Structures are given as structure tokens and as C-alpha cells.
Amino acid sequence: MRAIHDYKIDGYLNIIDALNHEIDEVLRRIRAEAKDDDYARLLTTIPGISYYSALLIVSEIGEIERFPDSSHLASHVGLTPSTHSSGEVTYHGSITKTGSRHLRWILTECTQSHIRTEPDSNVTRFYNRLVKKKGKAKATVAASAKLLKIIYWVMKEKRPYHS
């Protein structure tokens, strides 16, 4: 004879199976969407950028042609330091945080993934140099800006990433 809690466990397991099936279906649809989008497909060649990340980046950036260079894109996203000056003294503060917070979030996630998977890339070496001086948080933001510049050129030139 089964105890009542065994039936509850079976019910919870059935719910987990149903949710896993739904998650798998959503992931399949995201992958299909990313494969159909030229920019997203190119962005997935960059280590650390998945199908979901690529679609989010493409949707948040929009038309890459509206940015004359990668610095304008970084400024638009809010990954450039704020600048205050008085007389001959210039102070560089924290990032401006203009633009999409979702894009800044996904870029930091992609940067962290990139750093873990690509120990010898330019972004990782830049991050490792900066982390000693500025700490992990600031180094991650600066490396995210560098990764965004790579994203800009991959999209602008419409060619896959190569290190």
C-alpha cells in the first residue's frame, strides 16, 4: 500500500515532466528563430553568445547601420563611463546606463560565459588585466563593452567571428 505522500511525489514529478516538455519546446522555437535570423546566426559564432542571447541582442540593437562606429553603439547601450569636467580637471565616473538594461544584462552574462570558455581571447586577456586593478564587477562591465564592439563588427561586416 502506497502512502499518500508517494502520490504527491508522483504528481510533482508529472508537473516537472510537463514543464520540462514546455521548456524544450520553447528552446526549440528559439533555436529555429535564431537560425532564421542572419544577424543572430552570425552572433552565435562568438563564444559565450547563445541563440537566446543573440536574438535579444539583435532585437535590442535594431539596425546596426544607424551607428557610425562601435563607440557610438557602446555609448547608446550605456557601457561608456560618464565624464564630468570643471576647468582643466576631468573626472570619469561610473557607466552612464542609458539605453536598454536588458541589453547591458545579457552582455554581462555573455561576457562571463565568454571568459569561462575562451581563456585565450582578447576579451578574456583584457578582463584578466583589468580585474587585478579594478575588481570583478568593473572588469566585467569593461569587457562587456569590448565584447559589444566585437558584436558591432560582426553585424556590420556580416561575417562570422574569428579570434
Sign of CA dihedral 131, 139, 42, 56: positive
Mean pLDDT for the stretch of residues 61-90: 92
Q: Per the structure, how many domains does the chain have?
A: 1
pLDDT of 4 strictly over 90 = no
Is residue 124, in this structure, part of any structural domain at all? Answer: yes
Please list the alpha-helical segments (H only) found in the chain: 4-36, 38-43, 51-61, 70-77, 101-117, 122-134, 136-157
CA-CA-CA-CA dihedral for 4, 18, 56, 128, to nearest 10:
50
For position 1, what pLDDT does the model report?
57
Lowest mean pLDDT among 72-86, 122-136, 148-162: 72-86
Is residue 104, in this structure, part of any structural domain at all? Answer: yes
Residues 6+ apart with CB under 8 A from 56: 102, 103, 106
Is residue 84, in this structure, part of any structural domain at all? Answer: yes
pLDDT of 6 strictly over 80 = no
For position 45, what pLDDT does the model report?
97
Is residue 19, in this structure, part of any structural domain at all? Answer: no
Residue whose C-alpha is closest to residue 162's, from 45, 19, 38, 1: 45
For position 92, what pLDDT does the model report?
82
CA atoms within 13 A on the CB side of 68: 0
Is residue 20, in this structure, part of any structural domain at all? Answer: no
Q: How large a percentage of the chain has pLDDT more than 70?
A: 99
Mean pLDDT of the chain: 94
Is residue 55, in this structure, part of any structural domain at all? Answer: yes
For position 151, what pLDDT does the model report?
98
- Domain residues for the domain of 71 are 37-157
Is residue 21, in this structure, part of any structural domain at all? Answer: no
Rama region for 135: left / alpha / beta (φ>0; ψ in -120 to 50; rest): left
Mean pLDDT for the stretch of residues 30-54: 97
Is residue 152, in this structure, part of any structural domain at all? Answer: yes
